Structure 1
Amino acid sequence: MLRKLALGGIRSRFRDYAVLFSGLVIGSAVFYMFLSLATNKAFLTANTMVGMTSFIFGFGELLLVIITTVYIVYANSFLMSMRQRDYAMFMMLGAKSRKIAQLIFIETVTVGILAAVVGIVFGMGLTGVAGHALMAQLHAPATHFAVAWPPAIFWTFAFFLVMFVVGALINAHKLLKTPLLALLHAATTPNRLKAKPWTLAVQAAAALVLLAIGYWAMSQFAKLVLMGVAIALVTIVLGSYFLFNSLLVWLIGLLKKRKRFAAKGLHTFTLSQLSFRIRDYTRILAVVSILFALALGAITVGLGFERDIPDLAAKQNAYDAVVVAPNQATLAQARRLTGVVAQVNYHLKSDAKHFYFNAAELDRDPLMFARFSHGPTKYTKVTAANFAKNAGEYASQLDQFQPKQIGGRQPAVLSAAAFAKLDRPVQIAHTWRLKDFTANYDQLAALNKAMIKQYGKQSSAVYGQKFTYYAMVNGAFSGMAFMGFFLGIAFLAMLASTLMFKILSGASYDQSRYLMLQKIGVRPALLRRSVRQEIGALFLFPGLLGITHVLFGLKMFVGLLQEPYGHLALPFGLFLILYGVYYVLTVWLYERIVIRQDLAADSQQ
């Protein structure tokens, strides 16, 4: 009987349960995705050059546990609020408290177990799709990466099971201790935050101090190291909560006092909607701001590492490819290169100790060598006149001009006349400079295989290639880029789920208020504008604070990224577009719930 009542309750409020269930599925999927990396020590060790990555992921796990716990608490609260009126009716009809407690336990734990199972399966699918797509994009080996990781499966299921069992017990205890009349009218009871001005001032001051400490700790990451991560984790989370707790209450109160603003359109109604559940909003907006910062920061850092890979390779070699005396197969692969900016050939001769360049050719087409420096890559042009001066400094880049050996012969320059007199075979060195190295990755990989086949794997002709440097740098940095993108996708999904769930979970209770406005003749356009403004405020404030967190948080990567604050337009722009899409989708879904389309059509006729 209890099972039938539980299932009947779910069927009767299927749309609300669908919102709840989808949010929990995404939450458990993200939890699994994060743990699939955080608990995979072999993956972290093989794909990152940062020795403390495991420790950082440990703090990340703690933060994710806090965020997911808050999310599950809200989900349980929402689950309870949907059914508490029904429970009160059962109690009025004579149902025993013990049976009601069992009913609550069955419903809550069933929803939690189903969400965990479906979320783990969905998380594995998302892990596989995102992981393999990123590996292909980054040309990353991602050693020891696993789609189905048993420790992550176990801990995700165990965490959600424990949280929902505890939540079910708390819900049952709370229900049985709440008077019947309070249960019947809970949906219409406001949850305003009553705070005196001095309390708001203290919270605002505490928020600014805590955030300042957190931002300072991130800027001093090179000195504080792990302690800086711990300090920032605690202070920024608490500072974000206190900031919203004080700022939103003060701002809403201030706007209500501005009579000219409040009297315009439905501003009074919109402000009242925000203040009606302001206590819940301040908590969830703090969580959203942290998720926003984590998602945007991870994607920004991932793009930074991805951008540094070809840049660092370019600082090691000015030429994208150099082939000396190629056979037909090697030359055929080289001719497949696209976007060629410059293609220069040099004639070489060699004896037992040296290999020689023709001075006339160097004067006509100087050799290009890359100088390692921070910022944009700089190049040195080497002619016959300054060859001897620069040969030692750029010896590693000159190695690629002597095939079939790992060194031995020293580079030198002969005058045109001396070069012509030297009775040695002529070998042609073909050089290419390309517009986009990464766009030619497949062609360069095929050329590298052809050179290995022709010269041997240990030949300096292969070892000194830019593609070889790229492979080395990619092995060190692609793991970091992979983790950045992967976690950014995960946190972005949870960000959208958290904010959309919080907003849509209260939509069913807002229906009566919007219906009342429609019945007294308020135009649908004004109602939609009110919805856009209300939801827009809930998206705007955590977004602004999240961006601030990221701008300070990038200080932690000054020593790892070449330009952590360079090229921010791309990650910030893409992220804000996605954030805007979530906003539009949330507004559309909310409007479909709270605005009656039949009444809207009648009012427009």
Structure 2
Amino acid sequence: MLRKLALGGIRSRFRDYAVLFSGLVIASAVFYMFLALATNTAFLKSNSPVAMASFIFGFGEVLLVIITMVYIVYANTFLMSMRQRDYAMFMMLGAKGRKIGQLIFIETVSVGLLASVVGVLIGMGLTSFAGNLLIGMLHAPATHFSPFWAPALLWTFGFFMVMFVIAAFFNAAKLLKTPMLALLHAATTPNRIQQKQPVLFIQAVLALVLLAIGYWAMTQLAHLQLMAIGIALVTIVLGTYFLFNSLLVWLIGMLKRDRRFAARGLHTFTLSQLSFRIRDYTKILSVVAMLFALALGAITVGLGFQHDINEMASRQTAYDVVTIDANAKTQQAAQKLTGVTAKTTYTQKVTPKALYFDAAQLDAKPLEFEWFNHGTWKKITVTSKNFARYVDQVDAQLLQFRTPADGQRQLQVVSHADFTAAQGQTRAIVTYQVRDFAANYDAIETMVTQQNRQYHVRSADQSGQKFMIYALINSMYSGFAFMGFFLGIAFLAMLASTLMFKILSGAGFDAARYAMLQKIGVRPSLLRRSIRQEIGALFIFPGALGVIHVLFGLKMFKGLLQHPYGNLLVPFGIFIVLYAIYYGLTVWIYERIVLTKPAA
């Protein structure tokens, strides 16, 4: 009987449960994906680039656990707010507290179990897609990779079941302590904050001070280190809450007092709707603003890392690949290069004591190097006239023009006559520059591998090739990009479904007010405009503050990203479009609930 009541309660509010359910499914799917990639030991051991990024997945998993725990707490709170009237009715009909507690337990755990099952199934598909995407980004073989990973499956189910069991006991204990009348009228009881102007002013000042401290702390990461993150986290969370708690109350009151604005259309009704449950909104908007900042920040930083890979590798050397007397296999791989922007051949002569360049040839085709000077990188061209000046500064990049067998031979530039007269082995050095390094990764890898075998190069220190540097940077930064993108999507789903759930959970009670307005002749177009304005305000406020949080938070990454503010259009555009889709979906569902055809 209890099972039928629980399932009947879920079916009767399927629309509201679907919003919550979608967020839980995405959370469990991403949770499983991260674990499947981070704990697959066979996959990690057989792929060194992926193994280097494993700790990044672990860090992302910790963040996901924290945010998921917060989301589950809020989700279960909303579940209780929807069902508490039903539970109160059961009590009035004589149901015992123990039975009510069992009913709550069955409903809560059923939702969690179903979301976990669907989430894991979706997570396997997501793991297959994301794993292949990561393997492609890292250019690693797919050895031992499998979308199904039993330890990740067990940990995902274990985590979500433990969280929902704890939530079920907590919900039951809280509900049974609440008076029956309070449960019956909780959804229709206004919770306006009756605060005086001085209190609102103090909260506003406190919010600005706390946010200023948090933003300042994020700029001092180099000096305060981990303390900066702790200070920023505490002050920004508190500052966000106080800002919404004071700003929304003050703004609604100010607009209500403006007779010209309040009398226009249904503004008075819209403002009254906002103020009816303003206390709950200030709490939830604070959480949404923080989740918005985390989600947008994760995507922005992740794409920033991906964008920096080639630039950072290029700063170590101007040439994408350099060959020395290339053998047949190396030449065959070189023919597969696409988008070659420059190909230059130099003749080098190997003598017992030195490696000679022809001055005439060098002046006709200057060498190109990247030079770090006075805190900035700049490209320099090296000819016979300035070779001696720069040779020490670019010694690491000159490794590309020598082999381990060259020993202590020094690179020197001599006149054309001296070069011709010098006795020694002559070899051809060819430099390549391509438009897209990643697109030519396989061909360049083959060229470097063959070159290393030809000259017995055993380490990156002996190579000097851009490929070795690119592979190292790519193994780290691709992991960050991967983590940032999928964490951002998971956080977005959680924050949007949380806000949607909060708005839609009260739609059933709002329907009576909209029906009354329809009966007295208010046009449907005005009602729809009121709904869009009300819900739009609830989406815009946390979104705007979240963007501000991100813009200040990017200062923390100045030491890691080359241009933290240089590529904001793509991540911000993607995120705003997805956020707008959630807004449109919320408006559409809300209108279908409250704008029913009035009875004759």
TM-score (norm 1): 0.86
Structure 2 counterpart of 1:165: 169
Structure 2 counterpart of 1:499: 499
1:155 pairs, out of 141, 153, 159, with 159
Q: Deviations over 1:218-265 (max 9, x none)?
A: 222222222222222222111111111111111111111111111112
AA partner of residue 345 (structure 2): N
Structure 2 counterpart of 1:276: 276
Q: CA deviation at 1:308?
A: 2.8
Instruction: Evaluate the alpha carbon distance shift between residue 497 and residue 379 of structure 1 in structure 2; reply closer, same or farther with a 3 A threshold.
Output: same
Instruction: Evaluate the alpha carbon distance shift between residue 444 and residue 370 of structure 1 in structure 2; reply closer, same or farther with a 3 A threshold.
Output: same
Instruction: Evaluate the alpha carbon distance shift between residue 254 and residue 138 of structure 1 in structure 2; reply closer, same or farther with a 3 A threshold.
Output: farther
Q: Does 1:490 align with 2:490?
A: yes
Q: Does 1:109 align with 2:113?
A: no
Q: Does 1:76 align with 2:76?
A: yes
Paired with 1:310 and 1:586, the residues of 2 have a C-alpha distance of 41
Structure 2 counterpart of 1:178: 180
Q: Does 1:343 align with 2:343?
A: yes
Q: CA deviation at 1:449?
A: 3.0
Paired with 1:36 and 1:49, the residues of 2 have a C-alpha distance of 11
- Number of residue pairs matched? 591
**Contact 2:112–2:161 (CA under 8 A) maintained in structure 1:** no
- SS across alignment from 1:372: strand
**Contact 2:507–2:593 (CA under 8 A) maintained in structure 1:** yes
Instruction: Evaluate the alpha carbon distance shift between residue 76 and residue 388 of structure 1 in structure 2; reply closer, same or farther with a 3 A threshold.
Output: closer
Structure 2 counterpart of 1:535: 535
Instruction: Evaluate the alpha carbon distance shift between residue 48 and residue 442 of structure 1 in structure 2; reply closer, same or farther with a 3 A threshold.
Output: closer
Residues 108-147 of structure 1 mapped to structure 2, 5 A cutoff: 108-119=108-119, 122-123=122-123, 125-126=125-126, 129-139=129-139
Paired with 2:77 and 2:251, the residues of 1 have a C-alpha distance of 27
Paired with 2:487 and 2:18, the residues of 1 have a C-alpha distance of 26
Q: CA deviation at 1:537?
A: 0.9
Structure 2 counterpart of 1:467: 467
Paired with 1:38 and 1:267, the residues of 2 have a C-alpha distance of 52
AA partner of residue 241 (structure 2): Y
Instruction: Evaluate the alpha carbon distance shift between residue 86 and residue 295 of structure 1 in structure 2; reply closer, same or farther with a 3 A threshold.
Output: closer
Paired with 1:267 and 1:375, the residues of 2 have a C-alpha distance of 56
Instruction: Evaluate the alpha carbon distance shift between residue 183 and residue 154 of structure 1 in structure 2; reply closer, same or farther with a 3 A threshold.
Output: closer
Instruction: Evaluate the alpha carbon distance shift between residue 274 and residue 210 of structure 1 in structure 2; reply closer, same or farther with a 3 A threshold.
Output: same
Q: CA deviation at 1:347?
A: 1.8
**Contact 1:299–1:571 (CA under 8 A) maintained in structure 2:** yes
**Contact 2:349–2:427 (CA under 8 A) maintained in structure 1:** yes
- SS across alignment from 1:348: strand
Structure 2 counterpart of 1:428: 428
Q: Deviations over 1:500-542 (max 9, x none)?
A: 2222222333223333333433333222222221121111111
Percent identical pairs in the alignment equals: 61
**Contact 1:324–1:430 (CA under 8 A) maintained in structure 2:** yes
Q: CA deviation at 1:348?
A: 2.0
Q: Does 1:199 align with 2:199?
A: yes
**Contact 1:320–1:465 (CA under 8 A) maintained in structure 2:** yes
Paired with 1:29 and 1:164, the residues of 2 have a C-alpha distance of 22
**Contact 2:518–2:598 (CA under 8 A) maintained in structure 1:** yes
Paired with 2:285 and 2:32, the residues of 1 have a C-alpha distance of 23
Instruction: Evaluate the alpha carbon distance shift between residue 471 and residue 433 of structure 1 in structure 2; reply closer, same or farther with a 3 A threshold.
Output: same
- SS across alignment from 2:235: helix
Structure 1 counterpart of 2:400: 400
- SS across alignment from 1:346: strand
Q: CA deviation at 1:358?
A: 1.7
- SS across alignment from 1:492: helix
Structure 2 counterpart of 1:323: 323
**Contact 1:354–1:410 (CA under 8 A) maintained in structure 2:** yes
Residues 340-489 of structure 1 mapped to structure 2, 5 A cutoff: 340-372=340-372, 377-403=377-403, 405=405, 407-458=407-458, 463-489=463-489
Q: Deviations over 1:431-455 (max 9, x none)?
A: 1122232332233223223333444
Q: CA deviation at 1:599?
A: 7.1
AA partner of residue 444 (structure 1): I
Paired with 1:31 and 1:236, the residues of 2 have a C-alpha distance of 26
Paired with 1:376 and 1:221, the residues of 2 have a C-alpha distance of 21
**Contact 1:16–1:505 (CA under 8 A) maintained in structure 2:** yes
Q: Does 1:237 align with 2:237?
A: yes
- SS across alignment from 1:187: coil
Paired with 1:406 and 1:421, the residues of 2 have a C-alpha distance of 20
Q: CA deviation at 1:421?
A: 3.3
Q: Deviations over 1:181-213 (max 9, x none)?
A: x54444333232222222222222221222222
AA partner of residue 509 (structure 1): F
AA partner of residue 370 (structure 1): E
AA partner of residue 7 (structure 1): L
Paired with 2:195 and 2:36, the residues of 1 have a C-alpha distance of 43
**Contact 1:104–1:172 (CA under 8 A) maintained in structure 2:** no
- SS across alignment from 2:412: strand
Structure 2 residues without counterparts, runs of 5 or longer: none
RMSD of aligned C-alpha atoms?
3.6
AA partner of residue 430 (structure 1): V
Paired with 1:395 and 1:517, the residues of 2 have a C-alpha distance of 80
Q: CA deviation at 1:69?
A: 5.2
Structure 1 residues without counterparts, runs of 5 or longer: none
Instruction: Evaluate the alpha carbon distance shift between residue 461 and residue 59 of structure 1 in structure 2; reply closer, same or farther with a 3 A threshold.
Output: closer
- SS across alignment from 1:405: helix
**Contact 2:60–2:483 (CA under 8 A) maintained in structure 1:** no
- SS across alignment from 1:426: strand
Paired with 1:57 and 1:107, the residues of 2 have a C-alpha distance of 30
Q: Deviations over 1:125-150 (max 9, x none)?
A: 54554354244235479999996535
Paired with 2:486 and 2:459, the residues of 1 have a C-alpha distance of 37
Paired with 2:289 and 2:15, the residues of 1 have a C-alpha distance of 27
Q: CA deviation at 1:430?
A: 1.3
Q: Does 1:16 align with 2:20?
A: no
- SS across alignment from 2:176: helix
Instruction: Evaluate the alpha carbon distance shift between residue 191 and residue 120 of structure 1 in structure 2; reply closer, same or farther with a 3 A threshold.
Output: farther
Q: CA deviation at 1:300?
A: 2.1
Q: CA deviation at 1:491?
A: 1.8
Q: CA deviation at 1:325?
A: 1.4
